[in-house]
Structure 1
Amino acid sequence: MLAILTDIHANREALEACLAHAKRHGAERYAFLGDFVGYGADPSWVIDTLQAFAAQGAILVMGNHDQAVFQATRDNMHPNAAKVVEWTKAQLTPEQTAFLQALPLTHEEDDILFVHANAWQPSGWGYIDGCMEAGRSLRATRCALTFCGHMHQPMLYHAAINGQVAAFQPVAGTSIRLSNRRRWLCIPGAVGQPRDGNPAACYALYDPLEMVLTTHRVAYDHATAAQKILAAGLPAFLADRLSRGD
């Protein structure tokens, strides 16, 4: 069983809750799809945790917030996000920053593509916010299944043999068998900052033998995560949104 987690955003409480949930539900391997830092108040702890998973064979790819920690220019980043990046840089050791910098943009394994934003230009950070963009991403890879993050909302897209793409809103806790007659793109939602009106953390479990996908929502102590953001002097908006899931 493979657990897919993305957009942790330095939220220790959310990550701990999702990892515990995944372990209880039989996760044997893990894939982390970027944006490990930014917004939240525990970047150092999150990176240390992910380094330990990487040492045990977990899949990790880079997100745009991870890149922003070591990249000089962040012209397209929201001012609140840019402020957190500067704060985050001061919290990390040189070794932790080097870990982020060494992350790949993509990883392919067993006919599955793992990427943060999309397959057509992983370094451009374009969003998949509909069937048109999902189709573009699916056409850009030979893999039958793509897992990506970046959108902070769970969604499942599939392409038929004729190339027509349709969207499906997964129901948390409900398993979906992925037909091998279609090509699939799964966005499991965000661990550390959900934006679909539900404050519960979100991740997915995938059984590659049975080709069964299940998204999960996991309640966590978002009040503590928010208090840490405020205590760090980060924008209050980033704390408030955790309780609203927006």
Structure 2
Amino acid sequence: MKLALISDLHANREAFSAVLEHARAHGAGRFALLGDLVGYGGDPAWVVDQVRELVQQGAIAVMGNHDSAIVTGPLPTMREDARDAILWTRSQLDAAQLAFLAALPMHREADDCLFVHANAFDPQGFEYIQGRLEAMRSLHATQCRYTFCGHMHEPKLYHLSGTGKAGEFVPSPGVEIPLLPNRQWLVIPGSCGQPRDGNPAACYALFDMTTGLLSYQRVPYDVDAAAARVRHCGLNETVAERLAQRLLQGE
């Protein structure tokens, strides 16, 4: 069975729709949503409803820092654009949608897999995995062979051998990577709704749980339409324009 790993949707309806269609066309039978369903994008209610429906069908979903901020309020450390988007997003969600976000777990374990938004060593702290040091700290914090996480908006792959040797890899889209069973693996699929590597195409990954093959995917979508939704959603015009440009430029 193929598992679609989708993270950092950020209320981007166009990107999420394209990724769902692509994943299903490539054999995905199950979905894991790795947090930050909302924030930045112009369609939070639609995205939350889609994720809630997937969860009802058996998908895994965990809480991201933007999802948490919707429930508890923006953190003081959040940038102005993120804070404004959080406050606007909260006004767009009904009680049931807010309750769904509030009930999301910080992490889930299933079939030797850990699903978490930021890291395994402090899921609620939302510390970034910016390199090998944080990745190894995360891998040492779990007994699971596979850790799937988001938060970082660029695709990356880390591994830890039985002898303690660490490695990291920047994957190429569409290339199957065998996740060897004698290692631990940390998979960051990149952002579906707001990639930040200079390429606006949506990111996600497919993991074949039978063969152990992982592939990172890039999915072009109507980024102009997504940017237009942000511009006209009701956010402050200056903030909305900055967020729209980030989508268009993949940053």
Same fold (TM over 0.5): yes
* Aligned counterpart, 1:209: 210
* Structure 2 counterpart of 1:141, one-letter code: T
Contact 1:106-1:113 within 8 A present in 2 as well: yes
Task: Describe how 1:28-67 pairs up with structure 2 within 5 A.
Answer: 28-67=29-68
CA distance in 2, matches of 1:189, 1:112: 18
Secondary structure at the aligned position of 2:46 is classed as: helix
Answer yes or no: is 1:174 the counterpart of 2:175: yes
CA distance in 2, matches of 1:79, 1:70: 18
Q: CA deviation at 1:136?
A: 0.1
Question: Residue by residue, what CA displacement relative to the aligned partner does 1:167-197 show, whole Å, maximum 9, x if unpaired?
Answer: 1011000000011111100000000000011
Q: CA deviation at 1:164?
A: 2.4
* Aligned counterpart, 1:17: 18
Question: Residue by residue, what CA displacement relative to the aligned partner does 1:101-146 show, whole Å, maximum 9, x if unpaired?
Answer: 0000000001000000000000000000100000000000000110
Gaps of 5+ in 1: none
CA distance in 2, matches of 1:215, 1:75: 34
* Aligned counterpart, 1:123: 124
Question: Residue by residue, what CA displacement relative to the aligned partner does 1:24-49 show, whole Å, maximum 9, x if unpaired?
Answer: 00000000000000000000000010
Task: Say which of 237, 247, 251 aligns to 1:242.
Answer: 247
* Aligned counterpart, 2:144: 143
RMSD: 0.7
* Structure 2 counterpart of 1:158, one-letter code: H
Secondary structure at the aligned position of 1:204 is classed as: strand
CA distance in 1, matches of 2:146, 2:71: 30
* Structure 2 counterpart of 1:120, one-letter code: F
CA distance in 1, matches of 2:6, 2:51: 11
* Structure 1 counterpart of 2:131, one-letter code: G
Contact 1:134-1:165 within 8 A present in 2 as well: no
* Structure 1 counterpart of 2:144, one-letter code: C
* Structure 2 counterpart of 1:172, one-letter code: P
Q: CA deviation at 1:73?
A: 5.0
Secondary structure at the aligned position of 1:28 is classed as: strand
* Structure 2 counterpart of 1:230, one-letter code: R
CA distance in 1, matches of 2:210, 2:24: 18
CA distance in 1, matches of 2:100, 2:197: 31
CA distance in 2, matches of 1:72, 1:49: 23
CA distance in 1, matches of 2:40, 2:148: 22
Secondary structure at the aligned position of 2:10 is classed as: coil
Secondary structure at the aligned position of 2:168 is classed as: strand
Secondary structure at the aligned position of 1:127 is classed as: coil
Q: CA deviation at 1:70?
A: 1.1
Contact 1:113-1:145 within 8 A present in 2 as well: yes
CA distance in 2, matches of 1:233, 1:42: 11
Rate the CA distance shift 1:82–1:4 in 2: closer, same or farther, 3 A. Answer: same
Secondary structure at the aligned position of 2:28 is classed as: coil
Aligned residues: 246
Q: Comparing 83-92 with 230-239, which one deviates more in the overlay?
A: 230-239
* Structure 1 counterpart of 2:245, one-letter code: D
Q: CA deviation at 1:162?
A: 2.1
Q: CA deviation at 1:163?
A: 1.6
* Aligned counterpart, 2:222: 221
